[in-house]
Amino acid sequence: MDLAHRLSRAAMLGAALVALAAPAIAADAPNSAPPSPAGGIRPLRVFILAGQSNMQGHARVSTFDGLADDPKTAPLLAEMRDGDGRPRVCDRAWITSVGCLGDAYSDLTEAKGKLTAGFGAPEDKIGPEFTFGLTMEKALDGPILIIKTAWGGRSLHTDFRPPSAGPYEWSPHELARCKERGDDLDKLEAEKVAATGAFYRHMIDHIRMVLKDIKRVVPDYDPSRGYELAGFVWFQGFNDLVSDWTYEEHMEPGGYDPYAELLGHLIRDVRKDLAAPRMPVVIGVMGIGGEKEGKKAPQLHFRRAQVKPTTLPEFRGNVLAVETSPFWDDDLEALHGRLERLDETLEREFRKAPGITEAAREAARRKAAEGEFNPDERKRLKGASNGGYHYLGAAKILAPIGRAFAEALLEAERKADRPGPKPGVGKVTLHSEGLHGYISFQHEPLPAGGGYTAGMGFYAAVWPLVDRPLADFQVGLPSAWIQPNNSDNKDRPLAPEGTRARAWKERGPTWETVFQTVEGGLGYWAGNHFRYGFPKFSMNATPQCYDYEVGSPGWSFFYSDEALPDDRLGIAQLSNRLLIPPDALPFRGRPDGEFLGYSWMALPFTEAAQGDPPTGDQSWTCFLNAGNFKGPIAYYIPETWSKVGKLFKDPFLDGRGLDARPGVMGGGAMEINTVPRLDSRDDRGVVYSKIPRLRFPADDRGRADLVQDVSYYSRAALYDAFKAWRDGGDAISGRFDEKGAWRPKLTTRRTRYDQAGKPLVGVEDAFETRVFEGNVWGLEWSKAGLGPKGQFPQYSKVVGDERVAVPEAAVPAETGLLDAEFRLAEAGTPYTSPSAGAWASPGPRDGPYTVELLDGSEVTYSWYRFVDQPSFRQYRWDDAKKAKLQALVEKLHASWPIDRDYMAPPTRGKLVSLDPALLVTPPKGLEVGYVPIVTKQAARKTR
């Protein structure tokens, strides 16, 4: 029987042999790294190891002793063990692995930590990763990260099929055999479509997830150093080797050429999806059965197909093949074969005695092993723990393979560095910290005693800051912050011990700026699940010293797929005409400088209460003014702010939250938070950087209007009239009364930026902040030559301790930056809500319904009675309070339409329109007093 088709049946007999084997030989050797090369510390090196079961690794730690008696492998064993004979734990090599736990075929559970033995399938085994990492740590300076993604029994033709290979195509041969077998072809086709590329996507998703937050795996990672995708190792093939239906001509020369083509697609796609166009690649060539199996079909043809991509001109020099057959052990295979045959004989005998006990079976196995194998053979057999298709589960075979993979990549790096005078020329590396800073405005002081602390608002421009939806990108467009006024407190901490913000010592002694905030606005956020190239609008607030954030009626500010716990829900959906999805509100068309108006107004939906905890009457309510929707959309429930004192048993906090205190509001800013960057060197060793193209809605004069009509409001603007209406007074229109509004004169504020923790200078030569006629704040471009009008300088270079903005024309071509691209964002996982608790009791009155948004998502929602929506269920209000609030909202729904200007219209420009799918009409009978609550948001189904 061909070795590739042989299954091991010797596990239990092997256990008996282990008990009879000789004791292990321990060894140890130093594991030191060479000094750092001239030129300083390099970025974190990241290596990706991918494939199926042999990349997982099925060599048990108990097989390590098999390396001891062979002079070729004994030195490697010394590196694999520490002075106590235990598997070595690396100092500078870390690993994250998926696919090896659970059933090892489809599990996505992650294992991570410092590299050592135990990252095989499962924890008591090794794969190539162990000695790969040991070799890299010994050869390289600085930290190393291994990202391993491997699942057993997975093919390249289906499971790992790369996107550019297209859909799986059934051959006439396959279809004929399926029909002969009586298969349901429609069912098979559907299953094949679902399976095609699934594990390629799992692989890429895990790699991206790790690279997005490297410190989660490598605690000492320094983002300012960045990382370098230093190599990709592919070790897979068994399931393609035995797929004789797919590879019909597998016994003929060239019969596996389609596999070679798929490998080419895989390399191209991985490099493209990870934005690493020159990442070195190693292909582990199948070696089960050793040299002899490689001389006959089908392995002869399969191994040649695995090597074939290395001969393509586009891959020459940076796609390498490593033969694994030289590491095969023919003698161990022969012993293992005898063991399998002995086990088969015993099994036949056992079947003749159905009543035989397990103890009797074990005794028979032990006696048979003693008779069949001498002590030296039994000792050698301890070095095997699995079948031939798993390289006998032998560390003596898999450990040298891992080392060979590493040595191939190291040699490729040495060759790449030889021709140039400086290492790293043209090697583009991806980093975070591409740009950080604030582009902001201020204004004259508020009038003393004017009471303009009950609301604020303005009109902000909406435009595509980036031309494509980018991964790992977060920039807030002009927005503002609101905090409770606690200026009377000079030394008492507002952030209790145990809260997240309390650890920020620089905010002491009062921590008033991180106690409670209303934030949000327009922007791009790193946590967005559904990006579409344009900004979105989202509310956000931090009720408890940044322990959590509340961004919508059910979810946090993009931090979790799951809805907030019932006791942390904080927003009441107010509008019965507008959906508020957790991934924020998208816009219609292609906005390019149109304006969105939004205001926060403190309104008394409920009365102040002197209960436990005491709670004020301020419900901070968000109003929007867009082309197709105007009015209030939601508010923060007052108890959201007041309960912090009760939770932390600190009466000093009572009455100090946004439910009771005047709001502190001043100025506004664009917050540039998370921007990726690419680094590379020219042939003189100078480091250049590139960030994504950031454009602003500049006109022909180079002016971009970003914010207008900044307004502050006293209670006379709406609070007083609203309270009277609540308590039975005359109906009100909801329009903000101008007698309670104040519009300050805006002033500019000089901007400063940094990149990788270093000052970024020269940007001021491209543009400056300005206040234009009509009290409009924005940016104005000069003629400095750093780029087109309306574009933020995209390139910079390192000069001493600074980074200096440079024009594109000044970037040397050999850096490779001009053509390098950034990773694009992909649709994220669904936002979900529970089917129990506050969401289910008493639950919705109607639904669910679904709509499709322009950001590529599908939103599911249901209609709840206003006071029965999930956010209120945590509070034990009496029936009278709930009835009064419900009646007030019913009056509001009946008399406040969505086409009325509640905010004063903008002074200039046009209004942007929201995605029309966000606008809904209440079902018949639920026209007032009911609100649409989003319960799920997921990627739109492909049609």
Task: Name the H helices within 4-73.
Answer: 11-20, 53-56
Low-confidence ranges of the chain (pLDDT < 50): 1-41, 419-422
Separation of alpha carbons 639 and 495, rounded Å: 17
Contact indicator for 776, 707 with CB cutoff of 8 Å = yes
Count Cβ neighbours within 10 Å for each residue of 453-481 and write b for 16 or more, e otherwise: bbbbbbbbbbbbbbeebbbbbbbbbbbbb
Query: 203-230 pLDDT, tens per residue?
Result: 999 999 999 899 999 998 887 777 889 9
Sign of the dihedral through C-alpha 291, 295, 297, 299: positive
Separation of alpha carbons 802 and 800, rounded Å: 6
Angle at the Cα of 665 (from 490 to 538), degrees rounded to 5? Answer: 125
Length of the chain: 943
Among 755, 782, 815, which residue terminates a domain? 815
Question: Based on the domain organization, do 269 and 362 belong to the same domain?
Answer: no
Is residue 37 in a domain?
no
Q: What residues make up the domain containing 757?
A: 436-815
- Of 468, 619, 633, nearest to 538 by C-alpha is 633
Cis amide bond preceding 509, omega within 30: yes
CA 279 to each of CA 50, 143, 822: distance values in angstroms, whole numbers, following the listed order: 14, 18, 15
Q: What stretch of H or E contains 690?
A: strand 687-690
Is residue 225 in a domain?
yes
Is residue 745 in a domain?
yes
Separation of alpha carbons 778 and 703, rounded Å: 7
CA atoms within 13 A on the CB side of 210: 27
- Of 487, 399, 492, 432, nearest to 67 by C-alpha is 399
Q: What stretch of H or E contains 719?
A: helix 719-726
Question: Based on the domain organization, do 265 and 126 belong to the same domain?
Answer: yes
Question: Based on the domain organization, do 711 and 835 belong to the same domain?
Answer: no
Is residue 732 in a domain?
yes
CA 705 to each of CA 538, 779, 903: distance values in angstroms, whole numbers, following the listed order: 21, 7, 19
DSSP string, 329-342: -HHHHHHHHHHHHH
Question: Based on the domain organization, do 279 and 230 belong to the same domain?
Answer: yes
Beta bridge partners of 625: 597, 630
CA 521 to each of CA 149, 418, 668, 677: distance values in angstroms, whole numbers, following the listed order: 38, 52, 11, 25
DSSP string, 831-845: EE--SSGGGTSS--S
Q: Which two tokens stand for residue 939?
A: 């990627």
Among 754, 786, 815, which residue terminates a domain? 815
Question: Based on the domain organization, do 323 and 379 belong to the same domain?
Answer: no
| Total of domains in the chain | 4
Four-CA torsion 551, 552, 554, 555, nearest 10 degrees: -30
Question: Based on the domain organization, do 840 and 872 belong to the same domain?
Answer: yes
* Tokens 């500010």 -> residue: 557
Separation of alpha carbons 734 and 624, rounded Å: 13
Question: Based on the domain organization, do 317 and 343 belong to the same domain?
Answer: no
Question: Based on the domain organization, do 742 and 838 belong to the same domain?
Answer: no
Separation of alpha carbons 212 and 828, rounded Å: 14
Cα end-to-end span (Å), the chain: 47
**φ, ψ at 840 (rounded to 5°):** -115, -15
Question: Based on the domain organization, do 336 and 310 belong to the same domain?
Answer: no
- To the nearest 10 degrees (0 to 180), the angle between helices 11-20 and 358-372 is 60
Contact indicator for 691, 442 with CB cutoff of 8 Å = no
Other beta carbons less than 10 A from residue 553's beta carbon: 28
**φ, ψ at 519 (rounded to 5°):** -130, -135
Is residue 7 in a domain?
no
Is residue 8 in a domain?
no
Question: Based on the domain organization, do 364 and 464 belong to the same domain?
Answer: no
Contact indicator for 70, 88 with CB cutoff of 8 Å = no
Is residue 793 in a domain?
yes
Q: Strand, helix or coil at 343?
A: helix
Question: Based on the domain organization, do 134 and 213 belong to the same domain?
Answer: yes
Is residue 38 in a domain?
no
Question: Based on the domain organization, do 463 and 545 belong to the same domain?
Answer: yes
Q: Residue 700 burial by CB count (10 A; 0-12/13-18/19+): exposed, middle or buried? A: exposed
Separation of alpha carbons 659 and 636, rounded Å: 9
